[in-house]
Amino acid sequence: MSLSTNAYVLELDVWGVSNTVNDFNNKTLSMANSNGINNALTWASQQGYTEFMFPKGTYLIDETNPIQPKSFMTLNLNGSTLRIRNNGLAHYSVICYKQNQVFSRVTNGIIQGDRYNHNYATPGEASTHEWGMGVFFPNTTDPTKGEGTNTLFITIDNIEFLDLTGDGVSLFSNQGMVYATTAPTKSYSITFEPGSISTTDGSLKADSSKIRSNIFLDLTNTQIVKWKTFGIYGDVSYQSVGSEIDGTLPFDIIFYNTNGTFNSSLTNIDFFDEIPLPAGATSAKIVLHQPNVPSPSGNGLTLRCMTIPKFTFIEKCHIHHTRRLGIALQGAKFVWVRNNDIHHISGTAPQAALDVEDNYALNQNLWIEDNFLHDSILQLIFVKGKNFHVRNNKIERGIGITGYPGVKKLFIEGNYFKDTSAQINGECIISNNQIHRSNIGIGNGTAEPAIVDNNIFTNASLNVSRPKAYCVSVSNCRFTVDSDYNTSISGAGFNAGTFPQTMTNCTFEGYLSSSSLIFDGDVNATEGWTYSNVLFLNTKKPNNNGGIKIPNGTYIGCRFNNTGNLVTYKTVEFIGCTFTWDSYDLFRFSGSNNELARYINCTFKGGTSSAFYFSALTKGRIELINNYFEYPDATSTSLGVIDGFWSNVTGGTLLLDGNRFQSNLAMKAVNAPNITSDAFRIIAKNNTLEENITYVVEQTQMQNFSNNTINDVIDPYDWSAVVPSKGFYKLGKQIRNTNMLTSGYMGWVCAKEGFLDIYSSWSASTNYSWNTRITVNGYVYYCTNRLGGKSTKTAPTFPTTPIYAIVSDTKGMTGWTSKSYAVGDIILPTSSDGSYYYECTTPGTSGTTEPVWGGKDNVMDGAVVWTKRLIVIWKLLGPAGAIFKQYGPIM
């Protein structure tokens, strides 16, 4: 039976094994095969063989007796198939590692389940039947029989797994619960008291910032002594350390000898890490780096000696059409999953290529590399653990990666994502990936840091919604939308969440159809992101609408090239940015979405449209400071660099300070000839307008213009050949004389503040349009109604202070009563909101009850017809009758 080499070829007749199957229900055959193969393996191991080879064929394996590989041996299937017998068990495995094997390998064959012939209705079995495994490291073993999953250096390679009712490969750890102390009462829990312990001599110390265990941890358990390792873990269900234990902080452990003397110590240990047992140590105490002593209900800490598969290699396998998972890592450390093809996993939850879940934080140091993961419901699931590396995989179709908040140090590097998604709610680094038609989410399940660097998003999206400021960094990424964009995915580009983060050195190119945006953000965010050196290129939609939104934030050194219309929200600041555009207004301001928009040291390279257009602004402050506006190819002299539909602008402030304007034509730096002084305030100072550029601004606004150089002349609007006759002037305003030599004086000074214009007085029963001005008792007022209105029969009492005080033109109005009315009679209905009243346009006797007005244009009231009129709201602009006096005689 022995060979001259170190490989043993299974002798079928000697061990009563058959490599042919005619009936996959044959219990006798499966039992004979399982017993024969396992017996042969034991014998071969005893003989010192390092390789066990199957004659090629199909071997029926019994569902109650899996094959158990040996240490220091390769199980070479030699192209054979190990097929589980058709059965109805919820739990089975074809190959089982439960003897703490080391340096063992399974290779070169097929492992097949009974998925399509399984009895899923077996009485007494779990209904999901999700635990039919190909290669299984079980979570239940009997240490008294030498069983366990403390395996080391197990390799599974070149195996095809298919048709399993559960997983292709499943690695579990064993709970390994031991008692914390032997006296006075055994308890799984570790209890605490205030204080610390010296790490140099083991003595107790007072320390209000720490707590220490008040029992000795018994380290004489046979499993601890055997494996010379243990750990401080969470509870037996979900590995929770407890709601009152800060699991993010390390702890110290102090070891004692049998006689109670100090042995040694270790500091800054993490929960769920393995702790080596020092020579001679029989007990220990731990010190937590937190001040509060947990209650029993908030403390889940336990002492355990876990048996954990370590250094496991799953390579070059083809895993497909299993029901639950391709690979399950349910408590494993140092695992390499690489060069595998895993796909079409479906049938029972979670239906993923790979799942890192049960035993939670025990899962550590995993490398998932160079795999093709595709066409499963989910590809990768990470529930809890740390140091997970997902590298150089192709991930396609189905949900690509799901990372839960409990995951620490998840590295996603160099992968190709296509038609998939990833939602990462834990700590992560996402770098050097190609992301195509896929959605990546940095979720809000944790405040842990996330770094997104050097990725290429093609028709793909990144959404960031972490609930902590400045814990996410996005850098060196490119977002592109092209003709391959598939509208079936949910958007493409970038979406900034509520909390501010940072983005640097990124590029956005292309646009999305409809109202979707390649760059978007939460318009209600109270704080803004910081964007540095971001390029927005050709994001303009065909209708000139912007393909990006400008959410709350600071933009430093960013470039905006052919972006389409831009709309800002909340507070935005642009520092050292460059804007290039043509054929559309660049920034549009409307409504109340702005609080502050500030532009500092920016360059605006315009074409044939405005840089800023105000369409319906109601509030906010726009500041332009030390910017350069250049229009080398302007086509119209009527164009304003800053322009607007001013009749709809009802509030806000525009500040221009230290800007330079240049154009090939005589454009207007600000074109606002008909804006009211109180609706929108314009302040312009220290600006330079070159090459015939001018201001065209309603004269009352000019009171806030100073030290502006227009075509080499400082404040030319403050020069005149004659005394002013129109406009509003503040006390002390000087108008310099252009004919000083002839007239003999320097100019005129406003000696009495007010308007020079002559306006009509108030008239009864008169229709007034918006912005109509009147003079009453030496003061000027204007109609603020956008739709105009009609005065009443009696003049209101017009206020003279404070400036911009308002009064409703409703004096003399009475409420409705049942009586006869003549044409021109007016009443104020009880239901009016103060914006309208009714005038009798058909005389007669009214009804006996007040009609339902409802704001209708015409209301029948008995024989009377009432017609709705809008109430005029007058606003005080200032005094009339400004007076100028000559000053500065020239001798």
pLDDT tens-digit profile of 644-658? Answer: 988 788 788 999 999
The answer to whether residues 137 and 171 touch, using CB atoms and an 8 Å cutoff, is: yes
Q: Mean pLDDT across the stretch 296-310?
A: 88
HSE (CB half, 13 Å, CA atoms) of 607? 11
| CA distances (Å), origin 111, targets 107, 313, 337 | 10, 17, 18
User: What is the rounded (10 degree) CA torsion for 400, 405, 408, 414?
Assistant: 20
HSE (CB half, 13 Å, CA atoms) of 431? 12
- Tell me if the bond preceding 802 is cis, omega within 30° of 0: yes
pLDDT > 60? residue 429: yes
Provide the pLDDT for residue 618.
80
Comparing C-alpha atoms, which of 309, 334, 67 is closest to residue 172? 309
Provide the pLDDT for residue 20.
97
In this predicted model, what pLDDT tens digit does every residue of 380-420 receive, in sequence order? 999 989 999 999 999 999 999 999 998 999 999 999 999 99
Q: Mean pLDDT across the stretch 43-49?
A: 97
**CB contact burial 340-354 (16+ within 10 A = b; e otherwise):** bbbbbbbbbebbbbb
Q: How far out from the chain centre does Cα 366 lie?
A: 26
The answer to whether residues 354 and 326 touch, using CB atoms and an 8 Å cutoff, is: yes
Question: Pairing between strand 559-561 and 535-537?
Answer: parallel
Q: Give the CA angle between residues 425, 428, 433 to the nearest 5°.
A: 110
C-alpha span between 505 and 558 (Å, rounded): 9
Provide the pLDDT for residue 184.
37
DSSP 496: E
Contacts of 522 (CB under 8 A, 6+ apart): 496, 497, 498, 551, 552
Comparing C-alpha atoms, which of 283, 192, 285 is closest to residue 246? 192
Please return the burial class of 286, using the count of CB atoms within 10 Å of its CB with bins 0-12, 13-18 and 19+: buried
Residue 596, helix vs strand vs coil: strand
Provide the pLDDT for residue 193.
95
Q: Mean pLDDT across the stretch 106-110?
A: 98
C-alpha span between 505 and 520 (Å, rounded): 17
C-alpha span between 433 and 417 (Å, rounded): 8
Q: What are the two backbone dihedrals, phi and then psi, of residue 33, each rounded to the nearest 5 degrees?
A: -65, -50
The answer to whether residues 356 and 379 touch, using CB atoms and an 8 Å cutoff, is: no
Comparing C-alpha atoms, which of 152, 304, 159, 100 is closest to residue 221? 304
Over the chain, what is the mean pLDDT?
Answer: 92
Contacts of 78 (CB under 8 A, 6+ apart): 53, 54, 55, 56, 108, 109
Provide the pLDDT for residue 447.
87
In this predicted model, what pLDDT tens digit does every residue of 530-555 receive, in sequence order? 999 999 999 999 888 888 889 889 99
DSSP conformation letters of 370-395: S-EEESSSEEEEEEEEEEEEEES-EE
Provide the pLDDT for residue 452.
98
Q: Mean pLDDT across the stretch 775-798?
A: 93
C-alpha span between 188 and 179 (Å, rounded): 5
Contacts of 722 (CB under 8 A, 6+ apart): none
C-alpha span between 696 and 323 (Å, rounded): 74
Q: What are the two backbone dihedrals, phi and then psi, of residue 789, each rounded to the nearest 5 degrees?
A: -175, 180
Comparing C-alpha atoms, which of 165, 163, 110, 162 is closest to residue 132? 165
In this predicted model, what pLDDT tens digit does every residue of 64-105 receive, in sequence order? 999 999 999 999 999 999 999 999 999 999 999 999 999 999
C-alpha span between 862 and 865 (Å, rounded): 8
Provide the pLDDT for residue 237.
58
Higher pLDDT, 678 or 697: 697
Provide the pLDDT for residue 176.
64
The residues pairing with 233 across neighbouring beta strands, listed in sequence order, are: 302
C-alpha span between 852 and 555 (Å, rounded): 55
Provide the pLDDT for residue 341.
98
C-alpha span between 557 and 448 (Å, rounded): 28
pLDDT > 60? residue 483: yes
Provide the pLDDT for residue 681.
87
In this predicted model, what pLDDT tens digit does every residue of 165-188 receive, in sequence order? 999 999 998 766 565 544 434 345
C-alpha span between 579 and 565 (Å, rounded): 12
C-alpha span between 103 and 107 (Å, rounded): 13
Comparing C-alpha atoms, which of 70, 52, 58 is closest to residue 17? 58
Q: What is the torsional sign of CA 245, 247, 250, 256?
A: positive
| CA distances (Å), origin 717, targets 33, 108, 625, 704 | 105, 91, 22, 12
Provide the pLDDT for residue 490.
62
Q: Mean pLDDT across the stretch 763-782?
A: 94
* Phi-psi label, residue 244: left if phi above 0, alpha if psi -120 to 50, beta otherwise: alpha
- Binning pLDDT at 50, 70 and 90, where does residue 287 land? very high
pLDDT > 60? residue 223: yes
Provide the pLDDT for residue 699.
75
Q: Mean pLDDT across the stretch 256-265?
A: 96
One-letter amino acid at 872 equals V
Provide the pLDDT for residue 875.
93
HSE (CB half, 13 Å, CA atoms) of 545? 11
Question: Pairing between strand 456-458 and 434-436?
Answer: parallel
Indicate the helix (H) or strand (E) that contains 503.
Answer: strand 502-504
Q: Among 371-375, 653-657, 781-785, 790-794, whose mean pLDDT is lowest?
A: 781-785
Provide the pLDDT for residue 175.
66
Q: Among 224-238, 393-407, 620-634, 803-817, whose mean pLDDT is lowest?
A: 224-238
DSSP 658: S
Q: Mean pLDDT across the stretch 612-627?
A: 91
Residue 796, helix vs strand vs coil: coil
Measured from the Cβ of residue 484, the count of other Cβ atoms closer than 10 Å reads 10
Contacts of 188 (CB under 8 A, 6+ apart): 177, 179, 180, 236, 302, 303
Please return the burial class of 427, using the count of CB atoms within 10 Å of its CB with bins 0-12, 13-18 and 19+: buried
pLDDT > 70? residue 487: no
